[in-house]
Amino acid sequence: MKKNKTSKNWLNQRGRDIFFKKSKAYGYKSRSAFKLIEMNEKFKFLKNNTYLADLGSTPGGWCQVAAKKILKGKILGVDIKAMDQQKNVDFIIGDIENIETHNKIINFFERKIDVVLSDMASNTSGNKNLDTYRTGELCLNAMTLAQKILNKNGVFIAKLFMGSIFEEIKKKAKKSFKKVVIYKPTSSKKESKEVYIYCKDIL
Ligand SMILES: C[S@@+](CC[C@H](N)C(=O)[O-])C[C@H]1O[C@@H](n2cnc3c(N)ncnc32)[C@H](O)[C@@H]1O
């Protein structure tokens, strides 16, 4: 009974959510698409010839946004879950916590790339602190790959939740990149502790 009420509330909230409605209207596979649109408007990293890896890409909203801008570059989505095929987007199924997945991504591009995105989030466990920590670990793993694969002026953007691991992430970012900005898109729910870290220019 309680569960039904909770899921009804969730459905009602989602129905009222302007970005959820917008994603349906624009044909995006996720409301997250608008976060990437907003971040690109601010930081301008999606260009016609960009080489880009999108970590945690399923269901594919960010790849759709990237594919509208990148016509001559390369887009690779990576996720532990399958993603539907998209025109001009390649996909690898793999766990970013596994070094073999890093090697597959490096081998796919065969060159340094311009942008590494991570919208990865761990499965919700019911324990918010644990989820924050696990998503932070995914962000650190993505940053390790970014350090290996990005060109000197490369851009790394990743989701994280404000919490215990935040300082560790910021410290590693400041050691690895010249520019580090913490940014919360307006399309990210106000009540969520979600933010994105934007990093540019490898040190
Ligand atoms: C919020 S969704 C990403 C939404 C996507 N940006 C979009 O616009 O459609 C987070 C994704 O991270 C993926 N993920 C979680 N842990 C992962 C891991 N260890 N390796 C790769 N992907 C992972 C999940 O499977 C999930 O699809």
| pLDDT tens digits for range 38-88 | 999 999 999 999 999 999 999 999 999 999 999 999 999 999 999 999 999
Pairing relationship of beta strands 194-202 and 150-161 according to DSSP bridges: antiparallel
Q: How many CB atoms lie within 10 A of CB 5?
A: 9
What percent of the chain stands above pLDDT 70?
92
Please tell me the distance between residue 95's alpha carbon and the centre of ligand 1 in angstroms: 10
Domain boundaries of the chain, sorted by first residue: 30-202
Residue with tokens 């970590």: 55
Catalytic residue among 159, 178, 189, 200: 159
The finding on whether 185 has its CB within 6 A of some atom of ligand 1 is no
Classify domain 30-202 by CATH number: 3.40.50.150
| pLDDT tens digits for range 3-48 | 466 566 655 666 567 877 888 788 899 999 999 999 999 999 999 9
Torsion sign across C-alpha atoms 150, 154, 158, 163: positive
Beta bridge partners of 55: 78, 118
DSSP code of residue 82: -
The finding on whether 165 has its CB within 6 A of some atom of ligand 1 is no
Q: Which of 119, 124, 157, 187 to mutate to test the pocket of ligand 1 (most atoms within 8 A of CB)?
A: 119
87 tagged catalytic:
no
With a CB cutoff of 8 Å and minimum separation 6, the contacts of 115 are 45, 46, 50, 51, 52, 53, 150, 154, 155, 156, 157
